[in-house]
Each structure stands twice: as C-alpha cells, then as structure tokens.
Amino acid sequence: MEYKLGIQVFLLLFWRSALDALVSENDGGWSSNPEYSLTDEGPCNIDIWDKASLSHRQFIQQYAYSKPVILKGFSDNTKFQFLCSKSSLLQQYGERMVRLSTANTYSYRKVDVRFEEFVDLLLRPQSMDTLGSDTLYFFGDNNFTEWHSLFENYKAPRYMLPHTTGAYSFGIAGPGTGVPFHWHGPGYSEVIYGRKRLFLYPPDKAPHFHPNYTTLSWVKDTYPYLLEEKPIECTIRPGEVLYFPDRWWHATLNLDTSVFISTFLG
C-alpha cells in the first residue's frame, strides 16, 4: 500500500513539474510578478494583415513608403523563440558581455556587463520617476560574431524594400521600460516574448515629448491630455511584426518582461 502511494505521489509531482515547465515555456521563463505587468494595451488603429491576405505588391503600394502595418503569421519563428528562452540564453550567453544604452532619445552613455548580471540584477520594472539617462536598456548593441548562432535561426519578415538589406537589433527589457520617441530608416519590430505597445507619428508631425523622460512617464503625464495629436498605435504580441516606414517617429513601451528583435532596412 505504501509502495503504491509512493508511486502515485511521484507521478503527481512529475506531472506537476512537467506542467510547470510547459507553462514556463509559454513565456520562455521571462515572466515577472504579474503585478509589475502593465494592463493598459491601449487602442489599435494600425492595419493588421495575415499571411494569406497581403501580397508583396500590396505591401509596397499601400504601406512601404506611406504608413505602418502589422503582419501576423508571415514567418514561423518557433525555433528562434525556443532559443530565446531565459534558460537557453543564460546557458549560451551568460558569461558574454553585453552593452547597455541609456534609454533616452539621444543615448550616448554605454555600460558593458555580463549578460547574466544584466538578467539577474538589472532586468527590472521601470520606475516612474527614473530619467532615461539613468535607465539602462539592452537593445541594439549586439556583438554579431558572438550572437551569430542565435540570429541565424531568426526568420526575418519576408517583405524587403527594393535595394535594401536587413540588420538585426536584439533586446530584452522589463515591464514599463521602452525607448522614447526617435526616428531612423524603415524597419520591422517583432515580439518574441511578452507584449510591446508602440506609438508612432508621421515625419511631418513631430510629437511633443521630453527627450530624457521615459515612455512610461509620457504615457502617464502627456498621452491622456492629447486631443488632436493622438498617435498611431497598437500593442503587438509574439508572432506579430510591426513595419514602420522611413523617418516615422516611434516610441516603445514594454508591458511585460519582453524579448524582441528589430530588422532595420538600409
């Protein structure tokens, strides 16, 4: 009797462990305390297309040079997502150095830390009163030689602009973090884990913002009072990709601990 009971307890613990692992894999092990995640996803006023309904010709004619669009299911990055789980990245890159940037519009300060140190000590929710110059953000400064084995498994969005190639920028950030408004050439932003809220303005409508205030403070102190100057915006999730045209102003806000990658076209 005791033997059978022991087997039952073992099986119960085994399946509970397996279930916990399965649940963890859904967020890659990156989920933080739910109370730190942001609940307001905001409206979505950006066109959304799935892979079966938007042709390359339509993309070029309707969006490539004129307005943003969200693409769903255009590429299968299941393997890349698995490789970006917390345990996988720590095992592969834990001892490698990564370069962090200050999270303001004109970022100049850089800090080099071990990836493991970033994950264990610096990957935290954004404080409302912290300035961008005091917020360290892991995005963009990737050593492509060291990270090549990861990036070679990423399937970039299929629609390229004529005479351009893509350059990757990979990042991980805590809830409430993000980059304030800035602009550059055209590109894509894809979420691997978590949710990312994005705000955009066309080149001829520069938003009102302080370059050293975080996106979180802008959402709290400025966004609610906008009248005729509301942004184009949406929240994207894993498997969704936002395309933004050349010179469009954009700001990001991570609603959860997020893993993400951008493809800049140039």
User: What are the pLDDT digits (tens) for 3-40?
Assistant: 554 555 444 444 444 434 443 448 999 986 777 899 99
User: What are the pLDDT digits (tens) for 230-241?
Assistant: 999 999 999 999
Q: E-strand spans in the chain?
A: 48-50, 69-72, 97-102, 110-114, 136-139, 166-173, 187-193, 196-201, 232-236, 240-244, 249-254, 258-265
User: What are the pLDDT digits (tens) for 157-168?
Assistant: 989 999 999 999
Lowest-confidence segment of 50-59, 169-178, 187-196 by average pLDDT: 50-59
**Residues facing residue 26 across a β-bridge:** none
188 backbone φψ class: left, alpha, beta (φ>0; ψ -120 to 50): beta
Q: How far is CA 37 from CA 132, 142, 145, 180, in A?
A: 19, 26, 33, 19
Q: What is the residue whose two structure tokens read 């395309």?
A: 243
Sign of CA dihedral 57, 169, 183, 44: positive
Please state the rounded mean pLDDT for residues 72-79.
93
Query: Residue 89's CB: how many other CB atoms inside 10 A?
Result: 23
Is residue 61 exposed (0-12), middle (13-18) or buried (19+ Cβ within 10 Å)? exposed
Q: Which residues contact 12 (CB under 8 A, 6 or more apart)?
A: none
Residue 146: the pLDDT is 83
| Average per-residue pLDDT for the chain | 89
